[in-house]
Chain A
Amino acid sequence: MNHFKIIAVTHRDVDVKKIGMFHIGDDDLKERLQHLKDASQLNGLMYLSTCNRVEFMFTSENEFNDSFISNFFKEFNPNWDLEEVNWATDVCNSYEGEIAVEHLFKVASSIDSMVVGEREIIAQVRKAFDQSKKLGISDDTIRVVIRQTIATAKQVFTETTIATKPVSVVSLAYHELKKQNVSLDARVLIVGAGTTNTNMSRFLKKHGFTNFHVFNRTYSKAEKLAQDVSGIAYQLDELEKFELGFDVIITCTGAPDHIIDLDLYEQLLQKETGRKIVIDLSVPSDLNPIVLNHHDVNHISVSHLQIISETNLKERAKEITIDMFEKVQLPTPERIFSAYPHQLSGGQKQRVMIAMAMSCDPDVLIADEPTTALDVTVQKTILELMNDLKSELNSSVIFITHDLGVIGEIADRVIVMYRGNIVETGSVLEIFRNPKHAYTRSLLACRPPLGKRLSKLPTVSNFMQEDEDGNITELSASVDEVINKYVVSDNATKERFEKLQEKKPILEVKNLKTWFPTKTNFFGKPTEYVKAVNDVSFDVYEGETMGLVGESGCGKTTLGRTILRLAPAMDGEVIFDGKNILDMSKGDLKDMRKDMQIIFQDPYSSLNPRMTVGGAIMEPMTVHGIFDSQTARKNKVNELLNTVGLNEKQFNRYPHEFSGGQRQRICIARALALNPKFIICDESVSALDVSVQAQVLNLLLELREEFNFTYIFISHDLSVVKFMSDRMVVMNKGEIEEMGLADDIYNNPQREYTQGLISAIPKGELADIEKRILATKNN
């Protein structure tokens, strides 16, 4: 069974570092402790957050200030102690010969100060290892030798250090107890996992404490991390088997955040005696996985390789790399090893990135929107790969994305974030089954649904309202209620389409070919072509929205650009309003531009960064001589800004002051400035978050109603195209694969290619998620 869990964080605006789980800065900690102190009215509190060494201690008697901390460090030398030795033993016990030594060295290289004991242990281990290798002794024997060596060393070490130096966190806790004049018969609860618990109890016993209880619970690394992230503390019911009313609680779990659960402490502590002590020793029983990842992955993996074999480091690294490539299912790993990034496809690049991240054998892999820029079909394979890898390599994955559909495909647990705060956490099933927070509901609702046709998409504003100060008022509407409000009946769809067909087509594309030469002969004549668009014909009726869908590289963007004559056509006709665009003179073309506009994919690069928003919208009007005076144009710009949901005050702002969604609105306003009849939307919402995407799609639909636009809507996302279009064209390798009514194609795809596209869409449907979770459990 796979007991590792995955946490998903959603909403891309959030910087992972801000969650505050990995590194608690001094200020943060100080604040938390102060808060804790005030809230709990404890008179003795000690907090130790460490990775292998003591970092902070706090008591209520002292002011928690800088001088206190510095004194503290002067008093206690943060050296390695007994526990780390125990830990190293554990590591050796759990790994095979050679790897055990590697791990030991890994630890050694990550610790800057060592007491004599460890050096000796490591030196001995190394010696034993080298000698055994030379003698040709088998790995099993080596393991025994190493274990023996460490055991001996440990014994020596234990006897000399434990009683004399208060260097260990264990002894620190004892020290604190003594300082607080805690009597030897006080009831002590030790909460935690791993060796720290055993050490603690051993140590306390040695010093005369009699009445202590150990709550030992072993967590997997991933679970422990989960606690850190979400702040989930130990549940009271787990502790109820003990009689409540302790004098002292000592926790040593490796999870700094659980300290926030004050109620639990309150309940556990002896209320009558007035003496309440919580000693929190967050000593991980293993190396802190996150610290290991984030500060010395490269350093360690290289340095311990060097120890293994200084001479063939390069070959070894190559071996490992190719091995990794095989694991991420890259075809021809040998070839890809010597390939440059531009020679790989998007999906392959992402696989290499994953291999890179995985090569350091991380405990946690943070994947920040790894599939957002990919086609759905590629996205599907990448998600499958990540699912395989996390169980194979026993890694936890934090998967950050704005798309709840993707979350449904991969996550076990979900954290929903909004404006830097966690608004909801829960298992993936809970979130999809019963979303509590309004924001979660809106995220679930604003994905274009596949089964139904809607007149508009639900947005965040359907679920919550936010005033200027950022206070949120949640509305009680459920996802289904809101969606059902907008459903359009099949009859209405049919009627609309029949009405559209009464008019003549506004655009006719006949046998259009756009070929780009790749090879030329000696005289400069092309001999080979990439057939980006190959013999494509279709009509678009006035007022209709024609969807164009396909994987990247299928020629849909080139087709859009060829229609506008932004790319050169080889052959064929594009007849717009009775005139062939491909034969137009320069002057006619300029006039045509007024009627046909394009909205590009990337709102970040399709605005000139040196031009104010107002200037950018006004410029096409000036060039085409629309309106007589600049004032009239300016008024029109303000009107347009209002139309797309911005305001007049933003006239003199620069593009970099706007978010992606706002910039796309500006691009739309710029396209509208010329009063076009026909607009091509080239992946116009692909770079946007789903919630923003919904707003922009709604805007486009509203504009269609208001101005009777004709759209060609290009996207790789079939769900978006289906939502927007009356009819759609599925393209593959430059040719039309299938064409027809959008709903027909989705419900009844004729071609295998279309079926593949549809099945790859992350649907985020409850049934699918349940099936997946069940499948994992059965493994």
Chain B
Amino acid sequence: MQKPLTPNQKNLQKFRRNKTAMFSLGVIVLFVFMASFAYVFIPDNSPDANLQNPSIAMQSPGFKMKFLKLKTDKKVKTSWFKTLFLGKELDFKLIAILSAEEKNNGKILVSEFKGKGFPSINYELDKRELFSENLQENIVTKTYYLGTDNQGRDVLSRLVLGSRVSLLVGFVAVLISSLLGIFIGSIAGFFRGWADKFIMWKMSVFWSIPTLLLSMALYISLKDFFESSFVIIFIAIGFTMWVSMARIVRGQILGIREIQFVEAADSLGFSNARIIFKHILPNILGPIIVVAASNFANAILIEAGLSFLGLGVQPPTPSWGGMLNEYKDFVGTNLSYLALFPGFLVMILVLSFNLVGNGLRDALDIRN
């Protein structure tokens, strides 16, 4: 006889059959992979993909350019681990060139590119200024698949790196809001009485403030206490979203409290904490996961909103909201795509999370 499936296995099976949700999950996994190992494959793997070169600003997609490596004084210490997660700082300088020829006198004739519509400048360089001995080794050709922005940075690299902010903010904010929400919701739902009334009242107040406004307020008031803009965003968004989690946890606990096994646990002398964590919470994991998924999508949207208003992650760290803000003036010109790309990516990621959330809701059979 086949062993009957546990409730979890059944739900998983149901979720697997939902093609849209599975596809969305695939998209999310792809994004997570892309974000984690971004520096391995993006063309500009300098920290924050921030290699600026005004002379090649605002080039269209597919643009190709030759560069000459020159020596600098900068000493860079690096390890592969640091390169993988934080990018590789360059220990040379790059200049855009049309051509470079070695002359008999040991000098090098360089024709430097100064931008579209500007005449190139020809001058001679001492061979010692080159990064390495051989001239050919110092000439590199780069392709900008999605063109460059107004500071000559690679748009593709910045877009890929931007997903890091969105995903990280989403993850940490969901973590914070879930912990907070589950804790507060449990207290309200389990103890009921005046604790519940007080918390419900607080939640109603929180609920009435527009989300973006609330996180803006939190962001601004937290600015003086923390150095890193990341931490501020985590807290600002996490503390904004706990209400939805707390409400659902409270409602679920109110219902499940009435089921006899909770009373049975009480009669066996278990502590309240044990009853909540070991007996109640595992049984309402389904709704919690669903709310967490939709919170994830919300967090990404709020972060993009904050960045767009200039309150998000500070430059030069690329974020989709920030890029939207930077390039919003190009909308309507032939450079519209600069603003459209990040917007589109935000849309895809949020949609994926919402679809996964819907799939989970169907699989776990939770009524709205």
Contacts and interface: CB of A to CB of B under 8 A. Distances in A.
Nearest to B3: A657
B283 A566 contact: no
A600 B260 contact: yes
Given A656-B4, A656-B7, A608 B269 contact: no
A268 interface: no
A338 interface: no
A610 B283 contact: yes
12 contacts: A592-B269, A594-B269, A600-B260, A605-B260, A606-B261, A611-B278, A611-B282, A620-B268, A623-B270, A624-B269, A656-B4, A674-B268
A609 B266 contact: no
A578 B190 CA distance: 32
A424 interface: no
B263 interface: yes
A656 B7 CA distance: 9
Contacts of A540: none
B195 to A, nearest CB: 15
Interface string A655-695: 01100000000010010001000000000000000000000
A608 B279 contact: yes
Nearest to B194: A524
B367 to A, nearest CB: 18
A589 interface: yes
B259 interface: yes
A674 B266 CA distance: 14
A623 B267 contact: no
B267 A598 contact: yes
Interface in B255-274: 259-261, 263-271, 274
A127 interface: no
A602 to B, nearest CB: 6
From B259, B271, B282, name the one whose CB has the most chain A CB atoms within 10 angstroms: B259
A602 B269 contact: no
Contacts of B282: 608, 610-611
A294 to B, nearest CB: 27
Contacts of A433: none
A654 B6 CA distance: 8
A272 B274 CA distance: 83
Interface of A: 564, 566, 589-594, 597-598, 600-602, 605-611, 619-620, 623-624, 654, 656-657, 667, 670, 674
A593 B259 contact: no
A499 to B, nearest CB: 30
B269 A590 contact: yes
Contacts of A606: 260-261, 263-264
A470 to B, nearest CB: 13
Contact of B269 (A610, A620, A656, A670): A620
A667 B268 CA distance: 11
Interface of B: 3-4, 6-7, 259-261, 263-271, 274, 278-279, 282-283
The 10 closest A-B pairs by CB, nearest first: A593-B269, A606-B260, A610-B282, A605-B260, A620-B268, A590-B269, A608-B261, A606-B264, A598-B267, A605-B259
A657 B4 contact: yes
B281 to A, nearest CB: 9
Contacts of A670: 264, 268
Contacts of A610: 7, 282-283
Given A609-B7, A623-B274, A657-B4, A600 B269 contact: no
Nearest to A673: B268
A593 B279 contact: no
Contact of B267 (A566, A609, A611, A656): A566
Nearest to A589: B269
Contacts of B269: 589-594, 620, 623-624, 674
B268 A600 contact: no
The interface residues of chain B, by DSSP majority, are classed as helix
A610 B266 CA distance: 17
Given A620-B269, A623-B274, A670-B268, A607 B7 contact: no
Nearest to B267: A598
B365 to A, nearest CB: 14
Given A620-B268, A620-B270, 14 more contacts: A566-B267, A589-B269, A590-B269, A591-B269, A593-B268, A605-B260, A606-B261, A609-B261, A610-B282, A611-B278, A623-B268, A623-B271, A654-B6, A670-B264
A657 B4 CA distance: 7
Contacts of A609: 7, 261, 283
Given A606-B260, A610-B283, A619 B270 contact: yes
Nearest to B8: A610
A286 B259 CA distance: 49
From B260, B264, B266, name the one whose CB has the most chain A CB atoms within 10 angstroms: B264
From A589, A606, A610, A620, name the one whose CB has the most chain B CB atoms within 10 angstroms: A610
B136 to A, nearest CB: 67
A589 B6 CA distance: 36
Contacts of B264: 598, 600, 606-607, 667, 670
A601 B266 CA distance: 16
From A564, A591, A594, A598, name the one whose CB has the most chain B CB atoms within 10 angstroms: A598
Contacts of B265: 608
B267 A564 contact: yes
Contacts of A624: 269
A633 to B, nearest CB: 14
Nearest to A654: B6
From A623, A624, A656, A670, name the one whose CB has the most chain B CB atoms within 10 angstroms: A623
A552 B263 CA distance: 19
From A605, A608, A656, A667, name the one whose CB has the most chain B CB atoms within 10 angstroms: A608
A649 B279 CA distance: 24
B283 A608 contact: yes
From B259, B265, B267, B279, name the one whose CB has the most chain A CB atoms within 10 angstroms: B267
Contacts of A674: 268-269
Contact of B260 (A591, A593, A602, A656): A602
B146 to A, nearest CB: 48
A566 B270 contact: no
Contacts of A600: 260, 263-264
Contacts of B274: 623
B278 to A, nearest CB: 8
A342 to B, nearest CB: 14
Nearest to B265: A608
Nearest to A623: B270
Contacts of B267: 564, 566, 593, 597-598
A639 B56 CA distance: 80
A590 B279 CA distance: 18
Contacts of A589: 269
B287 to A, nearest CB: 14
Contacts of A657: 3-4
A564 B267 CA distance: 7
A225 to B, nearest CB: 36
B4 to A, nearest CB: 6
From B266, B269, B274, name the one whose CB has the most chain A CB atoms within 10 angstroms: B269
B2 to A, nearest CB: 12
Contacts of A607: 261, 264
B79 to A, nearest CB: 44
A670 B270 CA distance: 13
Contacts of A623: 268-271, 274
Contacts of A598: 264, 267
A602 B259 CA distance: 10
A657 B6 CA distance: 9
Contacts of A592: 269
A622 to B, nearest CB: 10
Nearest to B279: A608
Contacts of A602: 260
B263 A566 contact: yes
Contacts of B279: 608, 611
A255 to B, nearest CB: 37
B94 to A, nearest CB: 59
Contacts of A566: 263, 266-267
A624 B270 CA distance: 9
